Structure formats: C-alpha cells, structure tokens
Amino acid sequence: MNRVFLVRHAHAGDRERWTGPDEERPLSEKGRRQADALAGLLETERLDRVVSSPALRCVQTVEALAAARGLEVEQDARLLEGHDPDDTMRLLEDAVQGESLVACTHGDLVPAVLERLAAAGLVLRDDARWSKASTWVLEAENGRWLSTRYLPPPG
C-alpha cells in the first residue's frame, strides 16, 4: 500500500495584508507551530519523498518533516496555486506507483484533487474539508486509488 499525504499549507497570515509577491508569503507563528506539529503527526508513516509547491508557505510547511526524515523538499510547480488540477493528479498518480509521499499544496488544488478522486469512484466523507495545515491521506495499491482519510490540522 502506498500513500500520498496531501497537505494544505499551514497558516500564512492575511493575503491582503502581505505586500510582497504572494509566492513569497511566509508562515505566521501559528503556521510554524502547525508545521512543527506535522512532523509529529506523520512520525510513524513511511515517507519516501516530500514534494511541495514552490510557494514559500508550502515549503516551510514541510521543512521540519523533511528534516526529521533526512529528506530534501522537492519543489514542483504542479502543486502551485492555480495550476491545472489534471496535471497535479498526474503527479500524484505517478508517485503512488511505488512511493509514499507528502505533497504540500494550496486550498484550490486540494478540493480539485478530491473531486477527481470522487469521479474515479472513491467515496468521500460528506463533510469533506481542507483547512489550513490539514492532511488528506490518499491510499493506493498497484496504481489504483483505494481510500481517503482526513486528518485535521495538528497543534
């Protein structure tokens, strides 16, 4: 069984108050606490890779987790906000061919991925949500999606 841990980035403060480029918006103090707690939340899980949107808030969300596992944070534009969700799905589908990974992304791509999984026949909870710093565990075997599970934000 392989898993994708689809993480929405942790709290990054108010987008409207940030004056720089949005991709450079960092985590808030709350977001840093959530990011640190993510490492503990996934402590017992097998992880082969950590992949993130290049946006700073996403990279920062998974840095502690990657460091705790001795892994690098790979950046992939297919996880960027506003990216084509079909392309994002291809990234996740390729990954579950033999790896378990964390994929950190944004609030628009999480529901788009869930919609595609539902269209493929997976039953999702009626109250599907994607709070900041939450994780969806997507399980697959032999390249076939089998189940999903929601983990609320840590911390």
Long-range contact list for 88-91, CB < 8 A, 24+ apart? Answer: 88/112, 88/113, 89/113, 89/116, 91/51
On whether the CB atoms of residues 34 and 60 are closer than 8 A, the answer is no
Per-residue pLDDT in tens (0 to 9) along the chain, 155 residues: 899 999 999 999 887 787 888 889 999 999 999 999 999 999 999 999 999 999 999 999 999 999 999 999 999 999 999 999 999 999 999 888 888 999 999 999 999 999 999 998 888 876 778 899 999 999 998 878 999 999 999 87
> What was the pLDDT predicted at 27?
95
* The pair of three-digit structure tokens given for residue 151, joined into one six-digit string: 């983990």
Instruction: Please name the CATH architecture into which domain 2-151 falls.
Output: 3-Layer(aba) Sandwich (3.40)
pLDDT in tens, 46-84: 999 999 999 999 999 999 999 999 999 999 999 999 999
Q: Report DSSP letters for 38-70, one per residue.
A: HHHHTTTS--SEEEE-SSHHHHHHHHHHHHHHT
Residues 6+ apart with CB under 8 A from 12: 25, 26, 27, 28, 31, 57, 132
